[in-house]
Structure 1
Amino acid sequence: MSAPANDSQDYVGFDTITQQMERKFLKRGFNFNVILVGESGMGKSTLVNSIFSSHLVDSQGRRTAQEVIRKTTEISPVTQTLEENGVRVRLTIIDTPGFGDQCNNEGCWVPVIKYIKDQHAAYLERELKPQRDRVINDTRVHACLYFLNPGSRGLRPLDVEVLKRLTEVTNVIPVIAKSDSMTVEERTVFKRRIKEELVFHRIAVYPYPSEEDGEEDRLLNSSIRDLVPFAVVGSEEIIDVNGTPVRGRRHGWGVINIFDETHSDFVHLRNFMLRTHLSDLIEVTSQRHYEQFRTSQLRQIKELRAQQAAAAASGGIMASMPQQAPPQVPAIHQSMA
């Protein structure tokens, strides 16, 4: 609602709330946390550095075939503060070196799932404090970039198992790593096969359909789902092409420009994550994944208290013991991990 031209007394002014919220938001900044899941050599670090146009993380994978393969999946978070046009973001990139690098990858996803749940548990613990912080530091994982091997013929059994578990706890965005290793025709066939297998295995990746979406959001999300999985190429190298600097990769047959939409889906992925769905990724994490975790944990606490009360009322051993405080949420969570 805008102020009437003739009688400003009729102007109430509540339409300025968006400006008020924007000023507070810009002053406070926000957290955005992304986890990278995929085997070594998939270009995870290069891609995320390309997306944010900054050298945020160094490669955690093996640089040569002679390097020792990690026996377990490690968790390696790196946090930096970025600022663009007055907007400040505290960005955390969590790499998972060692994931999927073994001959037997049974359980290689356990540290990844545990890390995501641990962040939910830490947030819940801070939220339940009698005197909690006015602004809780948000370390919850808002997005997971899951890297698919372009050399496979589709989803491997490991991919299916891990994707099913990851989609239960975070927003998963599947990407085809180093898609320039395939021809355009091979890439089209591979993407179609992945889509079919995601549907067959009932794996729901982000973005999710919602009845609350307006027509514009539905059209946007539909176009994004057509692109999933994103066939991406990342590069931090600047190459001169006929006098024009291009960020890309040089091959014997030519140069891949990562910003050329005919070469890869890099631009679509970056726009999707940062320009159109950044706020939604954070919101869905809070309202969907964290809320499910929170409900489960509080229900367990309630059931445990009921059991303690029943044991005390029955005159059992616990009746003679001093009343114990309910266990901390992280302790319950660790027992579940």
Structure 2
Amino acid sequence: TVVSLKVDSVPFYLQWIDTPGYGDQVDVRQGFHHIVNYIDKLYERAMEVEMAAVREENRAFEHLGVDVILYFISPHRLKELDLAMLRMLKGKAAIIPILSKADTMTTDELRVFRREVSTRLREQGIETFREPMAIIASPYVVKNAQGESVIGREYSWGVSQCERDSDLPALRRVLIAEGLQELQRSRRRYYEAFRAKKMREMRGNLPSRMFGFALRTALQTLVLAGAVYALHQGAERTGLYEKLDQLR
């Protein structure tokens, strides 16, 4: 999904790539690999464009890749499934953990859960672009206690406002304002790491490719020599050489 908006009168385009059905498969690893392979394919495409004989004038390859992964975590518990996926995404792109449905937790529960997620990720060696951000999202416009129209959710105890009661404004600033250049530098860093790894693999495979080429060449030479020898033997058996001498 491509979203068009303006930031300080400057046109801005965001491409969101959703993953519906993630984690619903019997073998969840299949979903893991689909996501990781998608990111790798973008980096591979960037390498192809960058290393082409005629490079694109607009340097489009610099924009291929994923700027940031917003990984949504269910409220109250961080599952082993989440940690397994985040370990696979580590080193692929900048990661921002999102504590979803933050209005289903009390202030104390949210504080404890945020600390727990940060600790578990650090223990797993999973680097994040920002600390976990608690988000409330809603498609509804409701009236708050002051009678103002706000985006949020209405409960029996009151109204939960997306802008006031969650990290949504901070997340917006990270994505399209103060954190944008840092995200772009981060994407470039992850791409360069991917590129360096691929180049090492290509150099590592070079001796085996050269050996394969030499072996094929040797086999072709042997086949050709065998064919010439067979023709020679056949000519001797049929007296072809003697007949040619008589003709001369």
**Bin for the TM-score computed over the shorter chain:** 0.7 to 0.9
Listed one character per residue, the Cα deviations across residues 218-248 of structure 1 (whole Å, up to 9, x for unaligned) are xxxxxxxxxx211110123222233322111
Which residue number in structure 2 is paired with residue 235 of structure 1?
138
In structure 1, stretches of 5+ residues that fail to align are: 1-77, 208-227, 322-337
Distance in 1, Cα, partners of 2:11 & 2:219: 55
Listed one character per residue, the Cα deviations across residues 92-146 of structure 1 (whole Å, up to 9, x for unaligned) are 1000011012455233211110111111111111111111111233231100000
Q: CA 1:156–1:243 in structure 2 vs 1: closer, same or farther (change >3 Å)?
A: closer
Decide whether the 8 Å contact of 1:308 with 1:318 is kept in 2.
Answer: no
The alignment status of 1:90 with 2:13, answered yes or no, reads yes
Residue aligned with 1:107, SS: helix
Q: CA 1:237–1:90 in structure 2 vs 1: closer, same or farther (change >3 Å)?
A: same
Residue aligned with 2:28, SS: coil
TM-score norm. by structure 1 comes to 0.60
Decide whether the 8 Å contact of 2:76 with 2:113 is kept in 1.
Answer: no
Residue aligned with 2:91, SS: coil
Q: CA 1:167–1:232 in structure 2 vs 1: closer, same or farther (change >3 Å)?
A: same
The alignment status of 1:299 with 2:222, answered yes or no, reads no
The alignment status of 1:114 with 2:37, answered yes or no, reads yes
Distance in 2, Cα, partners of 1:121 & 1:268: 32
- Point out which structure has higher relative CO (alpha carbons under 8 A, 6+ apart): 1
Which residue number in structure 1 is paired with residue 68 of structure 2?
143
Q: CA RMSD in A?
A: 2.0
Distance in 1, Cα, partners of 2:162 & 2:3: 24
Decide whether the 8 Å contact of 1:174 with 1:229 is kept in 2.
Answer: yes
Greater helix fraction, Structure 1 or Structure 2: 2
The alignment status of 1:256 with 2:155, answered yes or no, reads no
The alignment status of 1:176 with 2:80, answered yes or no, reads no
Q: CA 1:302–1:168 in structure 2 vs 1: closer, same or farther (change >3 Å)?
A: same
Q: CA 1:311–1:107 in structure 2 vs 1: closer, same or farther (change >3 Å)?
A: closer
Decide whether the 8 Å contact of 1:81 with 1:90 is kept in 2.
Answer: yes
> What one-letter code is carried by the residue in structure 2 that aligns with 1:317?
R
Listed one character per residue, the Cα deviations across residues 70-105 of structure 1 (whole Å, up to 9, x for unaligned) are xxxxxxxx2244333442333210000110124552
Q: CA 1:235–1:318 in structure 2 vs 1: closer, same or farther (change >3 Å)?
A: farther
Residue aligned with 2:31, SS: coil
Decide whether the 8 Å contact of 2:86 with 2:126 is kept in 1.
Answer: yes
The alignment status of 1:308 with 2:209, answered yes or no, reads yes
Decide whether the 8 Å contact of 1:179 with 1:233 is kept in 2.
Answer: yes
Decide whether the 8 Å contact of 1:180 with 1:233 is kept in 2.
Answer: yes
In structure 2, stretches of 5+ residues that fail to align are: 221-248
Q: CA 1:85–1:275 in structure 2 vs 1: closer, same or farther (change >3 Å)?
A: closer
Distance in 2, Cα, partners of 1:168 & 1:310: 33
Q: Percent identity?
A: 28
Q: Which moved more, 1:109-118 or 1:99-108?
A: 99-108
Distance in 2, Cα, partners of 1:268 & 1:121: 32
Decide whether the 8 Å contact of 1:311 with 1:319 is kept in 2.
Answer: no
Which residue number in structure 1 is paired with residue 186 of structure 2?
284
The alignment status of 1:265 with 2:167, answered yes or no, reads yes
> What one-letter code is carried by the residue in structure 2 that aligns with 1:309?
M
Which residue number in structure 2 is paired with residue 101 of structure 1?
24
Q: CA 1:253–1:130 in structure 2 vs 1: closer, same or farther (change >3 Å)?
A: same
Distance in 2, Cα, partners of 1:120 & 1:143: 14
Alpha-carbon shift at residue 281 of structure 1 (Å)? 0.5
The alignment status of 1:133 with 2:56, answered yes or no, reads yes
Structure showing greater Rg: 2
